[in-house]
């Protein structure tokens, strides 16, 4: 039997792009954000995220790690997103660098961060109530 959807689902209008190479962190953060009624797209690295956006994929907010394997890191992704998708909110996450990340950011979450905090930040930036 196919499981039933929640009786009272929150409107899943806002799309959040989670870019994180630690799969467990990515999956758990994505679950929390979905639980808050958001539509979440999971990208395993910056290259995947960029491929998704270049293909016309929607995202109103991006959570991105800084250090990731691939042809670009989170900072390069942030630069490209700022340039091509200026309306998108950006929150960077890192365990290695402080909040003084160069360039404009809408938020910074030092790792390890609580998923509740991430959801709160996402809802605030998307203009929803936590």
Residues that bind other proteins (CB under 8 A): 1-5, 23-24, 27-28, 30-31, 34, 39, 41-45, 48-49, 51-52, 55, 57
| Shortest reach from residue 98's CB to other proteins, in Å | 28
Nearer to other proteins, 14 or 108 (CB): 14
Q: How far is the CB of 43 from other proteins (least distance, A)?
A: 6
What does the buried/exposed string (b/e) look like for 58-85 if buried means 16 or more CB atoms within 10 Å of the residue's CB?
ebbbbbbbbebebebbbbebbebbeeee
Take residue 64 and report the two structure tokens written for it: 């991105």
The C-alpha atoms of residue 50 and residue 5 are separated, in whole angstroms, by: 31
Tell the smallest beta-carbon distance from residue 68 to other proteins (Å): 11
Nearer to other proteins, 81 or 108 (CB): 81
Answer left, alpha or beta for residue 37, where phi above 0 means left and psi between -120 and 50 means alpha: left
Nearer to other proteins by Cβ, of 69 and 99: the residue is 69
Q: Check residue 60 and report its DSSP letter.
A: S
């Amino acid at each position: 039997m196919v499981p039933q959807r929640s009786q009272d689902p929150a409107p899943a209008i806002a799309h959040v792009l989670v870019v994180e190479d630690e799969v467990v962190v990515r999956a758990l953060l994505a679950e929390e954000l979905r639980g808050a009624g958001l539509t979440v797209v999971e990208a395993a690295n910056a290259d995947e995220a960029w491929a998704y956006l270049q293909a016309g994929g929607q995202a109103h907010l991006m959570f991105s790690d800084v250090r990731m394997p691939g042809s670009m890191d989170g900072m390069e992704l942030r630069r490209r997103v700022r340039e091509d998708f200026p309306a998108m909110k950006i929150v960077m996450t890192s365990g290695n660098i402080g909040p003084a990340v160069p360039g404009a950011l809408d938020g910074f979450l030092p790792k390890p961060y609580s998923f509740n905090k991430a959801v709160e930040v996402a809802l605030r930036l998307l203009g929803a109530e936590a």
